[in-house]
Amino acid sequence: MKSILNNEENSNRTVIEYELEFTRLERFAPKLVEFELERAQKFEEGLRPDIRQLVVGYELPTLKDVVNKALLLEKELQRTHSASAISEPSRTQ
């Protein structure tokens, strides 16, 4: 379970990919995170740094809440990144 929390490994994972791996590994260590708030915090710790920085201020109490907020933020980051890539003029001269 600790390896999934390694942010370097998660830096290219989508929130969905990370959630699937997190819940899969959680089955092997059910006592590791017994309370819902702990599950949410453990999941939050393993998010990509750009998403984690935005999620941390919300103090979300459940894993579902953290996943939903992270998905929304991931979508917004992708949209913002795409918009800035389109608006930047090409510098291939």
Q: What is the pLDDT of residue 11?
A: 75
The number of angstroms, rounded, from the C-alpha of 83 to the middle of its chain's C-alpha atoms is 21
pLDDT digits (tens, 9 = 90+) for 64-79: 999 999 999 999 999 9
Average pLDDT estimate for 71-93: 81
Each residue of 28-42: pLDDT tens digit?
887 778 899 999 999
Average pLDDT on 40-61 reads 96
Range 51-72 average pLDDT: 97
**Among 16, 31, 28, which residue's Cα sits nearest to residue 70?**
16
Distances from the Cα of 66 to the Cα of 28, 79, 80, 83, 86, angstroms: 21, 20, 21, 25, 30
Averaged pLDDT score across all residues of the chain:
86
Domain ranges for the chain, please list them. Answer: 3-85
Long-range contacts of 65-69 (CB under 8 A, 24+ apart): 65/40, 66/40, 67/15, 67/19, 67/43
Which pLDDT value is given to residue 82?
85
